[in-house]
Amino acid sequence: MNVEFKINDFEGPLDLLLHLIKESKMDIMNIEIEEITKQYMDYLDLQEKMNLEIASEYLVLAAELLEIKSKMLLPRQTVEEDEEEEDPREELVNRLLEYQAYKEITKVLHEKESLRREIYTKSPENIKNYIDEETEINVDVSLDDLVEAFKRYLARKKDNKPLKTKVTVNEISVSSRRHDIKRLLKSKKRVSFFELFPVLTKEYVVATFLAVLEMAKSGELTIKQEKAFDDIICEEVVR
Amino acid sequence: MKKAVLEGLLFVVGEDGLTFEQIEDVLEINEEESKELLMELKKDYEDDNRGLRIDFLGNRFKLTTKFEHREYYQKLIENPETNVLSQSALETLAIIAYNEPITRVEIDKLRGVGSVQMVRKLVAKGFIKEVGRSDLPGRPILYETTSDFLDYFGLATIEDLPDMRDFLEENEGVEEDNESDLYTSKYVEDELN
């Protein structure tokens, strides 16, 4: 069996089925349901073995194929004479034919698309300066109306603002905080632990806390607390 | 004089294009005259010494460059953009264009796969738009192609799409329709052959 095409190469189950029909040189108007169902199922199995995810749509068509197959196997019911016997494949064949037509048309569209890309138009000119800016002001407008209008204008302005915003990541490193603390201790000798956190962002607090711990460990400062819940004092260690 | 004004108008509106109604309103002429004027200007542009032409794209008259000069424009661009629509986008658009107005569920059925994302993408690109709701249970939204869709594929009107029957029966019946020079967009003419 042809494994050249992976499941993702197909646009959907109809695309896959058309491909299989073409591969086995079947007439679309006279599909050998048993054979094509087998091929279709084998193909899905193979894709699954290759660890490719199969969208549920493919399984829906698999179920349809199996249903048609079973209907074909059942002995034909005796139909009333004037009624034409319905081929269980008919609905599927019609869908395939229609889908195939759209697929063919996409080739035309694709061609037209590339041709159209060869010619250019330009953006319209800005002719807003011809718009009459003079606005007559109704006399019975209260100050409240004006304020209200201005509020609405501001709200609209806000909506017009592009959603884009600049994101700057200000990286705070432990070493930079260490450096800052060292300088602070040099000038002040002793500071309250809480003074070390002028900025209360998560990154800042974490970096500062780690810096204090590291400095205490390496003996650059000492941490003292007189009694529980008292202020924590950091002192410079002069070496 | 009015022909010159029309030329200026076409320049000003650019890709937005003009409809007959607009031309009639602005120039204060009737339909007959506006058609005549456009035809004249269109003829003028056909001259080899002119770099632009009048095209009928997406139901509007637009001033465009000439197809035969494409190689020179290409030289202007350093990195030619090859950003074309995907197969699934083309498929979905074809299905909508031939069945409009159509609901998403109907699109899904014809494609055999779900199209929620694709429909959303095409709406965002301005190729299709919502045009109301179907009377079916749940009153699903109906979609239709836009004039931007027509323009993107160089089509004058929706009738410019190839006949679906030609593709259903796999016969090679090619019909030539030359009834009106004005309403068709034939920028390709015979350069392709």
Q: How far is B138 from chain A (nearest CA, A)?
A: 23
A18-57 pLDDT per residue, tens: 999 988 888 888 888 888 999 999 998 888 888 778 888 8
Facing residue for A99 by CB, picked from B17, B85, B112: B112
- Binning pLDDT at 50, 70 and 90, where does residue A174 land? confident
* CA-based nearest residue in chain A for residue B71: A118
CA distance A75 to A132: 80
A183-198 mean pLDDT: 86
pLDDT for res B151: 92
Q: What is the pLDDT along chain B (193 residues), one digit of tens a residue?
A: 888 999 999 999 988 899 989 999 999 999 899 999 999 999 999 998 999 999 999 889 999 999 888 888 877 776 656 678 899 999 999 999 999 899 999 999 999 898 999 999 999 989 999 998 988 888 999 999 999 999 999 999 998 898 888 888 653 334 444 445 566 565 554 444 3
Q: Does A43 touch chain B (CB under 8 A)?
A: no
Between B117 and A80, where is the model more confident?
A: B117
Q: Where is the domain boundary, B19, B41, B76?
A: B76
B7 touches chain A (CB under 8 A): no
Contact B187 A119 (CB under 8 A): yes
> Does A192 contact B at CB distance below 8 Å?
no
pLDDT(A114) > 90: no
**From 1.10.10.580, 1.10.287.70, 1.10.540.10, 2.60.40.10, which CATH number describes the A174-236 domain?**
1.10.10.580
CATH number, residue B35: 1.10.10.10
DSSP letter for each residue of chain A: ---SS-GGGSSSHHHHHHHHHHHTT-BTTB--HHHHHHHHHHHHHHHHHTT----HHHHHHHHHHHHHHHHHHSPPPPPPTTSPPPPTTHHHHHHHHHHHHHHHHHHHHHHHHHHHTTS---PPP--GGGS----PPPS---HHHHHHHHHHHHHHHHHHS-S----------HHHHHHHHHHHHHHHSEEEGGGG-SS--HHHHHHHHHHHHHHHHTTSEEEEESSTTSPEEEEEPP-
- Which of B26, B113, B186 to mutate against chain A (most A CBs within 10 Å)? B113
Residue B7 falls inside a structural domain? yes
B27 and B59 assigned to the same domain: yes
Closest residue in B to A64 (Cα–Cα): B112
CB atoms A121 and B162 under 8 Å: no
Q: How far is B68 from chain A (nearest CA, A)?
A: 9
Q: pLDDT value at position A77?
A: 62
**Considering only alpha carbons, which residue of chain B is nearest residue A60?**
B112
Higher-confidence residue of B44 and A160: namely B44
Please name the member of A102, A112, A124 whose beta carbon is closest to the beta carbon of B154.
A112
Residue B21 and residue B92 share a domain: no
Domain containing B102 equals: 87-168
- A125 neighbourhood in chain B, CB within 8 Å: 11-14
Q: Is residue B189 part of a domain?
A: no
Chain B (66-95) residues lying within 8 Å, Cβ to Cβ, of chain A: 66-67, 70, 73, 84-85, 87-88, 90-91, 93-95
> Does A63 contact B at CB distance below 8 Å?
no
Residue B12 or A168, more confident = B12
Residue intervals in chain A for CATH 1.10.10.580: 174-236
Q: Is B92 a member of any domain?
A: yes
In a domain, B121, yes or no: yes
Nearest to A61 among B88, B112, B168 (CB): B112
pLDDT at position A73 over 80: yes
Q: Say which amino acid occupies A28.
A: I
Residue A195: the pLDDT is 84
Taking the CA of residue B180 and the nearest CA in chain A, the distance in Å comes to 20
Q: Over 50: is that where the pLDDT of A81 sits?
A: yes
Q: Do residue B153 and residue A123 have CB atoms under 8 angstroms apart?
A: no
Both B61 and B102 in a single domain? no
Residue B63 lies in a domain: yes
Q: Do B11 and A125 touch (CB under 8 A)?
A: yes
Residue B82 lies in a domain: no
